[in-house]
Amino acid sequence: MHSPARRVAGMGSTIFAEMSALAVRTGAINLGQGFPDTDGPALILDSAVQAIRGGANQYAPGIGIPALRQAIARHQQRHYGIELDPDTQVTVTTGCTEAIAGALLGLVDPGDEVIVLEPSYDSYNAMIAFAGGVRRPVTLRAPDFRLDPAELAAAVSPRTRLLLLNSPHNPTGRVLDAGELGAVAEVAIEHDLLVVTDEVYEHLTFDGRAHVPISTLPGMAERTLTLSSAGKSYSVTGWKVGWATGPPELVAALTAAKQWLSYTSGAPLQPAVAAALDEAPDFPATLAVELQARRDELVAGLRGAGLATYSAQGTYFVTSDVADLGWSSGREFCLALPERAGVVAVPLEVFYDDPDGPGAGRHLVRWAFCKRPEVIADATRRLMAADLSNA
């Protein structure tokens, strides 16, 4: 038997893959993995087909085709007033996932500390580890999942290199407010830290809340690398077209690592995403309105089923606490759920350094509401009819 490298030993497969496989195996409704069950706008799909027919089938430039980089720069201008040079301040990646990898491999040296919000999206921890960095989590705690500025300040050490931010936040659905963003900026400026911010849910905010990119705060543009992707905004999560924007030297550092990962990908998808950004700029806002209604329906259903549920300010996700129903572990709850109710959710414990720490997530599970209304209705009916208690 050949054993894997220490780098990956014990990593297993992601919890999303594990729970999606459980859904397939049991025929349960998959509210685990966050992907929509409808396509993005026809305009963008047609445009990709045309690009394939039109011969855009060979390597795109490593930093992405000019039309897409220009469209990304226009997007940042249109929504946030951010001015970018599309040739030096924008790079196209294989989804936001590769942008995260490129940012961490390109900016973190072995031994550098990286502050992350937890629960944290699982690729962050894997890539910090690949880079040889040391993770310093700052926990967002139920019920409101606020970022505590004092805890953030206390996480900084002389070895801190960067702050990895994510807002709107997966999995808690939290959108950081002006006070929290200001606190992050203050800490970053005081200690001269870099900020890498994952904003894939930038357009998926609810109840009139606006997403504010941290790079727009005074003193932040020069130290912030902003990451996003077409996947969530345009309901094309399988396309894996993402991007990073920011000061030329940070974009160059990311690109230096990224060129040895995929080098480039998605040649025919790149013009289609450019068309989406330019010609369907309102699609994401319309999607957010639909998602908000589905969030409300799912939250009502979960509460109706006896689950203590925290609503979301953005993203695809809401969170429930299963402790009141007698479960000591969200994982056990999720493993039992297909049989009990024919539904799959994802336990949050894997997104914490110490899921049993104060206010942490051993009992929390995440539900995705980015599904068709009839699917949400079916899932909530099943949950309400099921016995979910572990008495």
Ligand X SMILES: *Cc1c(COP(=O)(O)O)cnc(C)c1O
The residue ranges that bind ligand X (CB under 6 A) are 95-97, 121, 166, 170, 198, 200, 229, 231-232, 237, 240, 242
Q: Closest CB to ligand X among 240 and 382?
A: 240
The label of the residue with tokens 């910090």 reads: 128
Shortest-Cβ-distance residue relative to ligand X: 95
* Nearest distance from C-beta of residue 381 to ligand X, angstroms: 27
What does the alpha-carbon distance between residue 232 and residue 149 come to, in Å, rounded to a whole number?
29
Q: Closest CB to ligand X among 38 and 328?
A: 38
Rg (CA), the chain: 20
Q: Closest CB to ligand X among 237 and 309?
A: 237
Q: Closest CB to ligand X among 96 and 275?
A: 96
* Nearest distance from C-beta of residue 347 to ligand X, angstroms: 16
* Nearest distance from C-beta of residue 179 to ligand X, angstroms: 22
Q: Closest CB to ligand X among 245 and 383?
A: 245
* Nearest distance from C-beta of residue 379 to ligand X, angstroms: 20
What does the alpha-carbon distance between residue 194 and residue 173 come to, in Å, rounded to a whole number?
24
* CB under 8 A, 24+ apart: contacts of 331-335: 332/390, 333/365, 333/388, 333/390, 334/19, 334/22, 334/32, 334/365, 335/22
* Nearest distance from C-beta of residue 65 to ligand X, angstroms: 17
Q: Closest CB to ligand X among 64 and 242?
A: 242
* Nearest distance from C-beta of residue 95 to ligand X, angstroms: 2
CA angle (263 as vertex; 262, 267 as ends), nearest 5? 90
What does the alpha-carbon distance between residue 71 and residue 277 come to, in Å, rounded to a whole number?
6
Q: Closest CB to ligand X among 170 and 264?
A: 170
Phi, psi of 345 (to 5 degrees): -125, 180
Q: Closest CB to ligand X among 255 and 305?
A: 255
Q: Closest CB to ligand X among 316 and 327?
A: 316
* Nearest distance from C-beta of residue 242 to ligand X, angstroms: 4
Looking at residue 4, the DSSP 8-state letter turns out to be P
Phi, psi of 19 (to 5 degrees): -75, -35
What does the alpha-carbon distance between residue 315 and residue 287 come to, in Å, rounded to a whole number?
11
* Nearest distance from C-beta of residue 97 to ligand X, angstroms: 3
Element (DSSP H or E) covering residue 293? helix 283-304
Q: Does residue 310 sit in helix, strand or coil?
A: strand
* Residue of 287, 290, 256, 278 whose CA lies nearest to 376: 290
Q: Closest CB to ligand X among 94 and 383?
A: 94
Give the N- to C-terminal CA distance of the chain in Å, as an integer.
43
Pairing between β-strand 160-166 and β-strand 113-118 as defined by DSSP bridges? parallel
* Nearest distance from C-beta of residue 80 to ligand X, angstroms: 19
Buried (b) or exposed (e) across 44-81, using 16+ Cβ within 10 A? bbebbeebeeeebeeebeebbbebbbbbbbbbbeebbe
What does the alpha-carbon distance between residue 251 and residue 263 come to, in Å, rounded to a whole number?
14
* Nearest distance from C-beta of residue 14 to ligand X, angstroms: 11
